Structure 1
Amino acid sequence: MSRRLSAPAALAATLLLTPVPAAHAQECGGDFRQFLAGVKQEAVAKGLSPQAADRTLANAQIDRKVLSRDRAQGVFKMPFLDFSKRVISGYRMKNGAANMQKYGAIFDRTEREYGIPAPVITAFWALETDYGAVQGDFNTVNALASLAHDCRRPELFRPQLIAAIEMVQHGDLDPQRTTGAWAGEIGMVQMLPEDIIKYGKDGDGDGHVYLKQSAEDAILTAGAFIHSLGWRAGEPWLQEVIVPQDLNWAETGLGKTKSGSDWAALGVAPRSGQISGDLQASLLLPQGRKGPAFLAYPNYEIYLEWNQSFIYTTTAAYFATRLAGAPVYNQGNPDPGLSDPQMKQLQTKLQAMGYDVGKIDGILGAGTRNAVQQVQQQLGMPADAWPTPDLLNRL
């Protein structure tokens, strides 16, 4: 969850992490025991006990599988309809409803204190770990030590390793037994140690924050974290809509907003409920003008803080609306998209034309979507940012 570092979950982790001093960054890749000695020295300088540092680091070792995962990670390339159908199963819908009822008291407390509705937390809980069933089996200390020692992103992971020492000192992490995701996230909602320390809440009253075992702790902590990102209590986040076929498609997409009233005046209508007329919203077309359409309100931006992947983010937000009672989307009949080789070919062509699409990776990210939309406008095509074989052929 929090500032995630591994795919398919979030890639927004660099926003809040404390930079590492240059001298520490230079330790990467050298003698591992010397590196650990430096980590202990830094931890003690920050007020942590030498004993906690020794307990945490004494048996730490490099996990080559972690480094392999780090180099191989990629954002999900499945289109929205395929991805959402796969992850929003009947099982997850049924269990989500059951968990919201079972833990109703802590969900009510979380909404009172932080303003986060139960369906929002429950959707993340489902997508991250299948309600706690799949939390990862990588030793957390080894994962963090491996990534902090590696020279690719030491400035991101060294603070997390030191935060793990603090968790050991608090009695909230067992360096030998605590496991989680390959990038060091722990628990039912997959949080990194720094964020557990900062936002961790004892939901069950046992004096500890155990995100692996305690659903109450995980729910209340998730609420505190989402609140810290700027969630606006009482407001919607995503709403499925019906769009007129004569809409100016160039006005759709993230970063382009109108008030709900303005969208309604253009013929955009809700499939259920009412459009929030006084809120700004973007019109999202995950698979173009012939597929599902959603108004994304300001709270949708919080999902992007959790995870920068557009497909994951939109799926999580849509899943939360379903848990809150919204109907299944109208999937429409989208135009065929591009295969992975075709997407890379398109990105190469767009880059040659001067567009910033980022890495040629076959991922329909924000840069590629923006470039596609601009080129569609130039060619007189419907500018819905959905790349098709027809567009590729015209280029």
Structure 2
Amino acid sequence: MRAALTALFTLAAGTAAAQPCGGDFNAFVDALKTEAVARGHDASATERFFASVRQDPDVIAADRRQGVFQRDFIDFSRRLISQNRIDNGQIMSERYDATFDRIEAEYGVPRGVLLAFWAFETDYGQVQGDFNTANALVTLAHDCRRPELFLPQVYAALELYERGDLDPATTTGAWAGEIGQVQMLPEDILTNGRDGDGDGRVDLKGSAEDALMSGGAMLADLGWRAGEPWLQEIVVPEGIDLTLTGLDHEMTVAEWEALGVRAREGQLGDGSLVASVLLPMGEGGPAFLAYPNFDVYFEWNQSLVYVTTAAYFATRLEGAPVYDAGNPRPGLSGEQMVELQEKLVARGHDVGDVDGILGEKTRAAVQAEQIRLGMPPDAWPTAELLARL
């Protein structure tokens, strides 16, 4: 799911009054209708679109239930990357070979990248979700956790309805409002929806060609750099300065090579490219070089463990070997991670949400505390660090 954020949420009801998130759901929907008409949407179409909209408590439950992202990289990636998904990726690559060639020619996005998203999002189109899309979007816009993300999607869904491309009563998808085989939000469909099969319409649910072309267009729109790598497994020399690692530290590939970093297979990317050394489970675990294209993944999904797994799986689908898991130190449970984040916040660090998920802000705070305490600063939180804090 693309997670780019817009300005903080306020909904103009009429011309001046602000309708906040939360409160009475029906009143919130009435305010949405008023604002939609003020934005230029047809009044009768607006009424029809919102007529069937209902609050969906299952959507809120799904939004709160994301403990899977508390898993470490090795556990998470082994759960998501199966031999079946690898085999089906090869089948789909061959079946839609001409489409993938066209995507790479027009947008510069390699087939492995799209195949990985296609696999993880919907198992190559087989599991697209059965949540009512309009209900999901309005429910999440009404909820006060991330209204700034979902409110614009409501108006985008209304525009899709006016175009005849969405039915508020029957269109279904993921709990967060994404639609189709690569799970795109309505705004992204409006911007990057493409007719890949030439039938004159954009059908992201029923046409793999449409879904793949649209996904390629979206990644290009997000800044994908053609002809450049995104993630590469590396071997890091013993004794490397660990303070240089992490996504908030960049050097050129040539500079990394000078420090002894090498590709586990083949050659590193162009020496002039900037890159970061990513140690998702610390100095004893897997090691990757993250190139500028890796940043684009965070516009699709903001979970570090998902992004790293998706980027790595794309390399597997392009022929890379299984990563070397190494021998990382044991990490923390979800409850321990929450405790750690609370201690980091108490020390003045910004870790984002205290949610038990090891994101890049938490990793940066962990590394800072490791430096302060004289521990190996590899940004991997352990029971020893928790105890010392």
Structure 1 unaligned residues grouped into runs of 5+: 4-11
Correspondence list, 1:194-273, <5 A: 194-273=187-266
**Counterpart secondary structure, 1:21:** strand
Match of 2:292 in 1: 298
The CA distance in 1 between the partners of 2:35 and 2:67, in whole Å, is 32
Identity of aligned residues (%): 61
- C-alpha contact 2:10 2:18 (8 A) present in aligned 1: no
- C-alpha contact 2:10 2:19 (8 A) present in aligned 1: no
- The Cα of 1:158 is off from its aligned counterpart by 3.0
- The Cα of 1:383 is off from its aligned counterpart by 1.0
**Counterpart secondary structure, 1:234:** coil
- C-alpha contact 1:60 1:142 (8 A) present in aligned 2: yes
- The Cα of 1:241 is off from its aligned counterpart by 0.5
**Counterpart secondary structure, 1:142:** helix
Comparing 14-23 and 55-64, the one that deviates more: 14-23
Match of 2:335 in 1: 341
Identify if the C-alpha distance between structure 1 residues 388 and 174 changes in structure 2 by more than 3 Å, giving closer, same or farther: same
Match of 1:384 in 2: 378
The CA distance in 1 between the partners of 2:7 and 2:299, in whole Å, is 11
Match of 1:121 in 2: 114
The CA distance in 2 between the partners of 1:345 and 1:389, in whole Å, is 11
Q: What are the superposed Cα offsets for residues 155-185 of structure 1, whole Å, 9 maximum, x if unpaired?
A: 4333222221211221211222210111211
Matched, 1:144 2:121: no
Correspondence list, 1:161-180, <5 A: 161-180=154-173
- The Cα of 1:224 is off from its aligned counterpart by 0.7
- C-alpha contact 1:144 1:157 (8 A) present in aligned 2: yes
Match of 1:371 in 2: 365
Comparing 158-167 and 348-357, the one that deviates more: 348-357
Length, aligned pairs only: 386
- The Cα of 1:58 is off from its aligned counterpart by 2.0
Comparing 192-201 and 56-65, the one that deviates more: 56-65
- C-alpha contact 1:75 1:309 (8 A) present in aligned 2: no
Question: TM-score with structure 1 length normalisation?
Answer: 0.91
> Alpha carbon RMSD of aligned pairs, Å?
2.2
The CA distance in 2 between the partners of 1:72 and 1:81, in whole Å, is 21
Match of 1:46 in 2: 39
- C-alpha contact 2:22 2:143 (8 A) present in aligned 1: yes
Q: What are the superposed Cα offsets for residues 259-285 of structure 1, whole Å, 9 maximum, x if unpaired?
A: 111111111110112112121110000
Identify if the C-alpha distance between structure 1 residues 211 and 48 changes in structure 2 by more than 3 Å, giving closer, same or farther: same
AA at the equivalent of 2:178 = E
- The Cα of 1:54 is off from its aligned counterpart by 3.3
Structure 2 unaligned residues grouped into runs of 5+: none
The CA distance in 2 between the partners of 1:109 and 1:118, in whole Å, is 10
AA at the equivalent of 2:311 = A
Identify if the C-alpha distance between structure 1 residues 108 and 59 changes in structure 2 by more than 3 Å, giving closer, same or farther: same
Match of 1:100 in 2: 93
AA at the equivalent of 2:255 = D
- The Cα of 1:65 is off from its aligned counterpart by 1.6
AA at the equivalent of 1:306 = W
AA at the equivalent of 2:192 = Y
Identify if the C-alpha distance between structure 1 residues 352 and 28 changes in structure 2 by more than 3 Å, giving closer, same or farther: closer
The CA distance in 1 between the partners of 2:24 and 2:333, in whole Å, is 44
Identify if the C-alpha distance between structure 1 residues 115 and 16 changes in structure 2 by more than 3 Å, giving closer, same or farther: farther
- The Cα of 1:352 is off from its aligned counterpart by 3.1
- The Cα of 1:111 is off from its aligned counterpart by 1.1
